[in-house]
Amino acid sequence: MSVKFHMAEILVAGSVVLLTAGITTPGWVFFGCGLFLGFARFSMENHEKAKLSQDIDNSLETIKESFPAFLEGLSTISNAGKNNTKKSSGGIH
């Protein structure tokens, strides 16, 4: 697991420095922006995961719906091959 520092973490760390130095207004602004950006990043990652899960579910549903038609096509091809072998004389052509 790697630790990554993005803008949200830098803003929160900067706010800690500013608040401990007694510069309260910019400190709280940095803290609020950092929290907002962190929440925005979290919600975007969560949305991407949900969308990927939904896409996988849709793909599986499509496969489930088309599988019987696929088997029917294989059966038709198989039966056509059996019919052709019955009509042949059995010799090498």
Higher pLDDT, 51 or 4: 51
d(CA 24, CA 32): 12
Classify residue 91 as left (phi > 0), alpha (psi -120 to 50) or beta: beta
Contact yes or no for 37/11 (Cβ under 8 A): yes
Report pLDDT for 80. Answer: 74
What average pLDDT does the segment 69-82 reach? 78
Question: What is the C-alpha separation between 70 and 64, in angstroms, rounded?
Answer: 10
Choose the weakest-confidence range: 34-38, 39-43, 70-74, 81-85: 81-85
> What pLDDT shows up at residue 35?
95
